[in-house]
Amino acid sequence: MKKITILNNKGGVGKTATVTAVSHILATVYNKKVLVVDMDPQGNTSNLFGKTDFEALIRARLYNEPLAMGMYSVGELLVDSSLNPYQAIRSTAYEGLDLLPSFPTLAAIEEQLKADIKQPQQFRLANQLRKVENDYDYCVIDCAPSLSILNVNALVASDEVYIPTATDDGSLFGIELTISELISEVQKYAQNLQIGGIFFTKYRNYNVSRYARELLGTVYPDHFLPITIRESIAVSESTYNHKPLLAYDPKARKSATQDYLKLTGYIVSPVRKRYLKELEESA
């Protein structure tokens, strides 16, 4: 199972849109068995792919009752290493695509992890995913925009991290924080982690966008991907309809859908330089 994290310390750059679009394309276009892991307490990926009975969840926690099957989340797996991941993993409406959801309680669980010094905090997700690694081809992990132990867990568990960014200066600065404060530190003890690429989302062909593109290519020449996700209302519309982008736009008429197909093609390509060259020649 190849494990991929989508991360940027800056919010609003299309992390969840990327996770939902790419994971769905992997499952439906490339016929891969995919596990989506939601490590963001906001749970936007979980809300798009699944439904949670929050009333039952609150009752269970209020009266300290054991959680029923289907009420476990990634948070419980991080706290209790004895749990089987399949107690939390759910199927989705899409064949080959499963979800390990997040609940809002994940923020409180993060504080529990910080206080628990009995076992290393940063390897807990990796240890749980190891139990199911033979059952999936890909694992795609969504993260919150923070320098948190949750994101450290995601990176430690991953083979590659992809960094989406908008063209504003805050998003570009988020890249530097993400690389220097998170990725580089994790790579000191997780040598398997590589940067898969940095790419633009919500892209408009403005002068400032072209400047940002030139800047990113200069500062991160080894990581900058010439695959840009163009701004499209279809991305917002798909979230309102609780569908991943290609399910909302199945004929790929929208620019963002076409771009995410290209990005996913890059992720699965065994010869990436050749893939990028072919994209350039066909443009």
Using one digit for the tens of pLDDT, what is the confidence trace for 203-261?
888 888 888 889 888 999 999 999 999 999 999 999 989 999 999 999 999 999 999 99
Compute the chain's Rg from CA coordinates: 18
Most confident option among 3-7, 43-47, 166-170: 3-7
Residue 4 in contact with residue 196, Cβ under 8 Å?
Answer: yes
Q: Which of 7-11, 125-129, 263-267 has the lowest mean pLDDT?
A: 7-11
Tens-digit pLDDT profile for residues 116-166 = 666 778 999 999 999 999 999 999 999 998 889 999 999 999 999 999 998
Q: What confidence score (pLDDT) does residue 62 get?
A: 54
Q: What confidence score (pLDDT) does residue 52 get?
A: 58
Reported for 268-272, long-range contacts at CB under 8 A and 24+ positions apart, including other chains, are 268/26, 268/30, 268/32
| Residues composing the chain | 283
Q: What confidence score (pLDDT) does residue 66 get?
A: 56
Q: Which of 70-84, 85-99, 230-244 has the lowest mean pLDDT?
A: 70-84
What percent of the chain lies above the pLDDT cut of 90?
68
**How many angstroms separate the CA atoms of 212 and 205, rounded?**
11
Q: Which residues contact 156 (CB under 8 A, 6 or more apart)?
A: 122, 123, 125, 126, 186, 189, 190, 193
- Supply 227's token pair: 């695959």
- Supply 165's token pair: 């960014």
Nearest CA among 146, 136, 109 for reference residue 124: 109
Q: What confidence score (pLDDT) does residue 236 get?
A: 92
